[in-house]
Structure 1
Amino acid sequence: YDFNANLVAPTAPGAYQGFWQMRNGQGRAFGETVWVGIRVPASAPATPAPTQTPVAGITFTSTSTSIQQGQCVTISWNAVNVREVYFYQQGQNWQNNGVAGQGSRQECPQQTTTYYLRVVMQDNSVQTRELTVNVTPVSNAPQINSFTINPQGQIQAGQCVTLQWNVGGSISDIFLSRNNQPLWDGAPYQGNYQDCPPGGGQMTYLLK
């Protein structure tokens, strides 16, 4: 006689054996013991999901690309998942103008100027973005022809400096200050001023 039986393998990996003994109507065993052996293999390890490389993104914008002389724009940038970022304008060395990956700067160009954003990617490749702000000259607009300080750089405590300037155009007032403190309101179009800053620290002179 032929007979068959449906077997379901265990879920846990390993070697298994099953034994069967035939019996008659009175429950007495007869014939040979039948056995079967199986091996359940271990499941293949799950393949890990590939690690995604962060995608670099670069934006470089200006509030305006066409202005009149004397107006200002705000230039903004955002560079993510990159190594280095530099912001500079035509004629400047990019090496000296490193910036954070996200930032903005107000610029008041007196003539049409091109600005650049140089980005060093994670693989050391370089991408450059540029934008040009077109400046329309204004007839007889105020203009600072020169503004100098002597001596420049560092001075000794108690030492004085001489400021010199030359401005032109249609001007209603000229104002000179140090660290936002007034020095001369109503200064002439062309002149000089000697100042002896008190104490120490950094002094910033402004002519407007």
Structure 2
Amino acid sequence: MEGQACPLLGSLSEQGIYLNYPNFENRCYATGRSESVPLAQQQFFCLGGQFATCPRHVAATQGRPAAVSLTPAWDEPVADTLLDEDALEAPGRRSGWMPYLLGAGGAFLALVACLVVIGGFLAWRSWTTRARTEQPTPVVAGPVTIRPATFTPTPAPPTIAPDVAAAFATVTAVARLTAEAGTLEPPPFSLTARPTPTRRPTPLDGTVLPGALETETPTPLPNLGATATPTGFVPPTPTLAPTEPLAPIINFSAAPRTILLGQCSTLRWNTAGIEAVYLEVDGTETGVTGVGSRQVCPVQDTDYYLRVVLHDLTDQVWVANVQVRGTPTPSVTPTATATPFYTATPTPTNLPTATPTVTPQWGVRINGSNSQVPLVADGIEHQVASLGIENTGNTTDQIAINLSSSLPAGWHLLLCLNGPEGDRCFTDNATEVTLSPGGVQTAQVRMTAPPGAASGASTIVTLEAVSRHDGAARASVQLTVVIS
């Protein structure tokens, strides 16, 4: 898996210890207790390096509940005045405007104080003048010019937007579908921008209001109840056409297959469309990732097994064989033998009978002939032939078996050997068997054609057996496989 794993991921018993591939044993500790996580979310969020966008991780690291609130919360009404678009778009910037608000308020108070002082002075002067002249002097109140003061409303605390929760559900659905298809790519988030607020009508600069100042009564914003429906992002409901499950892809091989004593070989496997993979080495079976390799250094011919669990929870066992050459012969411990007393024995004059020397002969035969076989194009593995490979020589021989073909795109070919312990299949379609004189080994040819292959399409498959001691001793059979 690529990407950093989520620190809140763990196993059934402990946080921080987990399997590095999607598995039902992995658990999320975002709420403080062990909770199961779907495999698609594990692959995208927990193990794919995208955990920072997971609502569970966000709720755990920021201390807010993971539930998404669809109702905006307003603690108190906001004055009916000019709304600042920047303040609505960025609530965190309100603290930066506080010094300006305090300065504007101080200036306004200073202006009011000056007006009060000037008004008092004019009233006092008018009163003294009237007292001297004893004539009433009419005092005409002048017009007052009002300029609107800028005011930035304090928005409510932010809540988790419904589009984030909808995007999380969309990511989970798409990730699950792409994981089943064998490819997983992060789907793009589709978020709808917030609506632009509408400015309320305000008096223009220079508007003259007669008489005293009149203060408008602020109109509180409507209280949005639980039945309010957000006008933002509405996640589409994906309509998925039912599709047939993908056929599993399994490859397991050892390279090199033949080594000298003291050398090592590498086991490689590549799987897709399966549930779990287990590798058995030296009798010990361990869980492994879908793609990997391991080095082995056997001291004798050894079989290694790859057990694959399919989507229907059935098992398939694949075998890779490594043969070792130059195995040392165990030394014989000498045993003391008593020396008998010498007794003279007359030596017969008859010459010993000469033992005839047998000249080794090598021979290979395939019990079958060139033929044409049908194949159904349904994406399922079918056995198209079962042929016997016989040692026709007079000495035990090692026979190499090879299955080859130039397959069309989407076709698969597999060589399997039948034995007392069951079928052994070889993904590289090549192996060796040791047969005594007259011994026979049954070889099976299995093929898979993708659905939709044209009827009548064909390919030629060649099964060849060659003696390791005499390359001239070989046999082959050609099978013409035709889509029925």
TM value normalised by structure 1: 0.40
Q: Which has the higher strand share?
A: 1
Q: Which has the higher helix share?
A: 2
TM value normalised by structure 2: 0.18
| Larger-Rg structure | 2
